[in-house]
Amino acid sequence: MLTAAQRKWSLGWGFAAFGGIAFFVGTAIAALLLWDSGATGGQFFTPYTWQILRFTLWQATLSTILSILFGLPVALALARRPKFPGRIWIVRLMALPMGLPVLIGALGLIGIWGRQGIVNATLLTLGVEQPVSIYGLSGILIAHVFFNMPLAARLLLAALERLPAEYWLLSSSLGMKPLSVFRFVEGPATLRVLPGVAGLIFMLCATSFTLVLVLGGGPAATTLEVAIYQSLRFDFDPPRAIALSFLQIGITAIILAVISTLPKPDDDENLHGRASRRFDGRTAGARSWDTVIILFATAFLVLPLASIVASGIQADLWRLFKSPAFHQAALTSFAIAVAAGLLSVVSSVAIVVAQEAIGDMKRPGAGARAFAATLGGMGSLVLLVPPVVLGTGWFLTLRSLGDVNRFAPVLIVIINALMALPFVMRVLSPAMATHRRRTARLSASLGLSGISKLTRIDLPPLAKPLLTALSFAMALSLGDLGAVALFGSSELTTLPWLVYSRLSSYRTNDADGLALLLGLFCLLLTMLGTAGRERHQQDE
Amino acid sequence: MSESVVLDNVELALGAKTFRFNCAIKPGTITAVTGSSGSGKSTLLNLIAGFETAYSGRILIGGRDVTLRHPSERPVSLVFQDNNLFAHLDLFTNVGLGIHPALKLSGENRQAVSDALSWVGLDGLEKRLPGTLSGGERQRVAFARALVRRKPVLLLDEPFAALDPGLRQSMAQLLLDMHGQTGNTVLIVTHDPNEVRRLADKAIFIDRETILLHAPVDEFVRRDDLPSLAQFLEG
């Protein structure tokens, strides 16, 4: 239905996005490949890399298992208790860690699980000699469970809430006991999505950078991503960084390949709060079990968040707010976030527009179809080549050209934009598809095109999803420590980098205060984004 | 194997509506429950099945007070319009769960399941998943489960509404056959005046949250003094 000119423009946008991403990622990988490869070859399977690789996979495996073992009973309990007081807020709370900058979460966890935190204080009064350590493997696991248990619980809950209401009527009418309900109804429903959930969480934990950087460290508790960063920043050992980078790409490629074979769990937000009535689990035992599980999970999530607020307020917020270091970092962060957000949204629109133009062709050739598929893959390329690897490649490229610092802001913007791209695509792609379904025929029949179509037909209904996508991308960039870690310096400081350097120099008070401010910014952005999104959904 | 169903001054408030039901259903009859959408047909069934609990009044099945009983403790079988079968479980398991909720089945039970499946015309399909069947066939499986449950009361909530008109007739015949075999007390919610004539001994007409008329079908279809009923009978 597109005119020839419209198609040409759409495809042109797609080619531009494709070219840009391919150039950026390709250059990074080429730099890794072309670096004195003789030196790199011997670095692949040294005892050191083996240890790092083993630890990466081991902690990811444990994190996945623990997140699911904890998330499953939470999901079952929430599904069984549609009228639990404050249920909708608990379900929303479960979405919070996904949007919380990881560094802030880590600070909150240290506040609760650290040496002076209430968990260890309680354990000590109970007479437990060896307190829980928030550092090392145990700390990484606690943090990964904090971020991923709610994800598991939400996805499993969605799977349970998707079941027809009749199932619960039937199972209670047939007289099924909790074990039978689990065996015949809940179990099969959750089992179907469990591999997908596990794959997703494993992926997130295997590529987790910030948490391991803050809570891990030392060769005994370092993952590939952190080891790459350390090789480059502390030891300046490019061959080792390169070897680790390729191991990282290999691992993510394998995980992504496995995940692609698994059924996708989807988190349909419209489902939550529309829970079916349940007639099982009416016994006192079942009630108290569910209550304990839900309250425990809520406390596990709320306490670290409360700790961020509590210790943030104790910091001298006003002094921090006025300090030049904060102003500088906030300005830098916002400039980077705005640029990265816009870049991400524009690339995403370009990709979707080109895909739609190809879908619109009467008989797209094999080449066109392959291009559409490649464009889709481009959106998720950053999953395969993580930010630290991209950063390493560009770090090596630019070092041979001279001053890395000069280009650092641009690199951080592009890397952040790429990181946000999968999320932005997930918001924009369905919104734009709906919009096209509604208007494409009418626009074509009226002969609308160009600026007039853009401002009258396309922008008004798409403004909200665009704003949502932009605010998500900005929040992601604002809270990111991964890209800035490689390039941060006294000349280039973002808010997370400032928090991290305060934390590293044991100025914990300042770190807490700054984290609270950063958290508030991100929360504000996310609220802006979701507000647009909810209204958009009501329009549907 | 049939029992009476009595609703004695039953009251229930749902949202802004207050339902008031009073009726006595004779053992072994087929009673059609009719009325406009939202009048309270399904609520009546839910009260009998135990999915809603009356605020006041009593519900008696076979003379026993079940007002406060859990759904599993009431001697009823259910057939809904849709989703009667667990989609991930094969037909054998779906029917077998009607005999024992944890599927602990004796050899005799297993035979009963297979017999029931072949009685509804689906012999040999024990291992099939519901998704591979047509809508009518799935309802037949629900009937097979009701058959093996041997409960004195059978509640059907628009069981044929999703089926083609032609199929409805044969399913109605299957229900009559089943009733002939078990003699249980049947309540069937329906929108279709033809179904009332074809199936029922008695009919209930619910209007504005209460039972307006409870009469033998011959009388029911001839009444012309109730405008809302007349509208229903015209289709």
Residue among B72, B82, B89 minimizing CB distance to A173 = B72
Q: Please give the average per-residue pLDDT across B15-37, as a whole number.
A: 92
Q: Is the Cβ pair A176, B102 closer than 8 Å?
A: yes
pLDDT at B49: 93
pLDDT digits (tens, 9 = 90+) for A334-343: 999 999 999 9
Residue among B71, B80, B84 minimizing CB distance to A172 = B71
pLDDT at A313: 86
Q: Which of A54-58, A218-222, A519-523 has the highest mean pLDDT?
A: A54-58
pLDDT at A253: 92
Q: Is the Cβ pair A174, B88 closer than 8 Å?
A: no
pLDDT at A346: 94
Q: Please give the average per-residue pLDDT across B76-99, as a whole number.
A: 93
Q: Is the Cβ pair A174, B98 closer than 8 Å?
A: yes
Sequence ranges of the domains in chain A: 1-37+320-540
pLDDT at A536: 42
How many residues make up chain B in this entry? 235
Confidence class for position A38, pLDDT limits 50, 70, 90: low
Chain A contact present for B103, CB below 8 A: yes
pLDDT above 80 for A73: yes
Q: C-alpha distances in angstroms, A241 versus A48, A55, A208, A249, A394?
A: 12, 17, 17, 12, 12
Q: What is the mean pLDDT of chain A?
A: 86
Chain B contact present for A172, CB below 8 A: yes
Nearest CA in chain A to B157: A166
Nearest CA in chain A to B89: A184
Confidence class for position A40, pLDDT limits 50, 70, 90: low
Residue among A167, A177, A277 minimizing CB distance to B86 = A167
How far apart CA A33 and CA A19 sit, in angstroms, is: 20
* Mean pLDDT lowest among A50-54, A106-110, A129-133: A129-133
Chain A residues within 8 A of B77 when measuring between CB atoms: 173
Q: Please give the average per-residue pLDDT across B147-157, as a whole number.
A: 93
Chain A residues within 8 A of B139 when measuring between CB atoms: none
pLDDT above 70 for A222: yes
Quick one: CA dihedral A516, A532, A342, A99, positive or negative?
positive
Chain B residues within 8 A of A263 when measuring between CB atoms: none
* Mean pLDDT lowest among A131-145, A270-284, A491-505, A516-530: A270-284
pLDDT at A539: 39
Confidence class for position A274, pLDDT limits 50, 70, 90: low
How far apart CA A109 and CA A435 sit, in angstroms, is: 42
Q: Please give the average per-residue pLDDT across B142-157, as a whole number.
A: 94
Q: Please give the average per-residue pLDDT across A521-534, as a whole number.
A: 74
Most A CBs within 10 Å: which of B72, B105, B138, B154, as the mutation test of the A interface?
B72
Query: Regarding the domain with residue range A1-37+320-540, which homologous superfamily does it belong to in the CATH classification?
Result: MetI-like (1.10.3720.10)
How far apart CA A265 and CA A159 sit, in angstroms, is: 8
Nearest CA in chain A to B88: A188
Please, which residues have CB within 8 angstroms of residue A397's CB and are 6 or more apart in sequence?
A27, A28, A31
Helix axes A238-261, A47-80, angle to 10 degrees: 40
Nearest CA in chain B to A283: B70
A265-294 residues touching B, CB cutoff 8 A:
277, 279, 282
Task: Give B82→chain A minimum CA distance, Å.
Answer: 8
Residue among B76, B80, B88 minimizing CB distance to A166 = B80
Q: Number of helices (H) and strands (E) in chain A: give both, helices first.
A: 25, 0
Chain B residues within 8 A of A184 when measuring between CB atoms: 86, 89, 93, 97, 103
Q: Supply the Cα-derived Rg of chain B in whole angstroms.
A: 18
pLDDT above 80 for A204: yes
pLDDT digits (tens, 9 = 90+) for B57-66: 999 999 999 9
Chain B contact present for A167, CB below 8 A: yes
Cα angle for residues A379, A385, A386 (degrees, 5° grid): 100
Q: Is the Cβ pair A177, B71 closer than 8 Å?
A: no
Most B CBs within 10 Å: which of A167, A172, A173, as the mutation test of the B interface?
A173
Helix (H) or strand (E) holding A230: helix A224-233
Nearest CA in chain B to A176: B101
How far apart CA A175 and CA A184 sit, in angstroms, is: 12
pLDDT at A144: 96
How far apart CA A536 and CA A265 sit, in angstroms, is: 23
Q: Is the Cβ pair A169, B78 closer than 8 Å?
A: yes
Confidence class for position A420, pLDDT limits 50, 70, 90: very high
Q: Is the Cβ pair B88, A183 closer than 8 Å?
A: no
pLDDT above 70 for A387: yes
Task: Give B218→chain A minimum CA distance, Å.
Answer: 34
Chain A residues within 8 A of B82 when measuring between CB atoms: 164, 166
How far apart CA A92 and CA A154 sit, in angstroms, is: 9
Confidence class for position A42, pLDDT limits 50, 70, 90: low
Tally of CA atoms within 13 A in the half-sphere of A320 that contains its CB: 24
Chain A residues within 8 A of B101 when measuring between CB atoms: 171, 174-177, 180
Residue among A175, A185, A282 minimizing CB distance to B86 = A185
Cβ neighbourhood burial of B58 (10 Å; 0-12, 13-18, 19+): middle
- Short-list A98, A46, A28, A515, CA closest to A310: A515
Structure token pair of residue B198: 């074809």
Which has more confidence, A79 or A36?
A79
Confidence class for position A37, pLDDT limits 50, 70, 90: low
Q: C-alpha distances in angstroms, B170 versus B31, B78, B137, B187, B196?
A: 19, 19, 11, 18, 15
Q: Contact, A412 vs A491, CB < 8 A?
A: no
Q: Please give the average per-residue pLDDT across B127-143, as a whole number.
A: 93
pLDDT at A267: 62
Nearest CA in chain B to A169: B51
pLDDT at A406: 80
Chain B residues within 8 A of A171 when measuring between CB atoms: 101
pLDDT digits (tens, 9 = 90+) for A239-264: 888 888 989 999 999 998 898 888 77
Q: Is the Cβ pair A166, B72 closer than 8 Å?
A: no
pLDDT digits (tens, 9 = 90+) for A330-374: 999 999 999 999 999 999 999 998 888 888 777 778 888 888 888
Chain A contact present for B84, CB below 8 A: yes
% of chain A beyond a pLDDT of 70: 95
How far apart CA A30 and CA A38 sit, in angstroms, is: 15
Chain B contact present for A192, CB below 8 A: yes
Amino acid B142 reads: A
Chain A residues within 8 A of B102 when measuring between CB atoms: 176-177, 179-180, 183
Chain A residues within 8 A of B86 when measuring between CB atoms: 167, 170, 184-185, 188
- Short-list A412, A157, A470, A410, CA closest to A293: A157
Chain B contact present for A236, CB below 8 A: no
How far apart CA A399 and CA A405 sit, in angstroms, is: 9
pLDDT above 70 for A540: no
pLDDT digits (tens, 9 = 90+) for B168-223: 888 999 999 999 989 999 999 998 888 999 899 999 999 989 999 999 999 998 88
B1-75+155-235 is classed CATH 3.40.50.300? yes
Q: Please give the average per-residue pLDDT across A287-301, as a whole number.
A: 95
pLDDT at B175: 93
- Short-list A198, A222, A212, CA closest to A105: A212
Confidence class for position A275, pLDDT limits 50, 70, 90: low
Q: Please give the average per-residue pLDDT across A284-295, as a whole number.
A: 93
Strands B185-189 and B30-35: parallel
pLDDT digits (tens, 9 = 90+) for A443-490: 777 777 777 777 777 888 888 889 889 998 999 999 898 888 888 777
Sheet holding B202-207, edge to edge: B64-65, B56-61, B5-14, B17-25, B210-216, B202-207, B30-35, B185-189, B153-157, B76-79
pLDDT at A532: 53
Beta partners for residue B19, in sequence order: B12
Write down the ipTM of this complex: 0.87
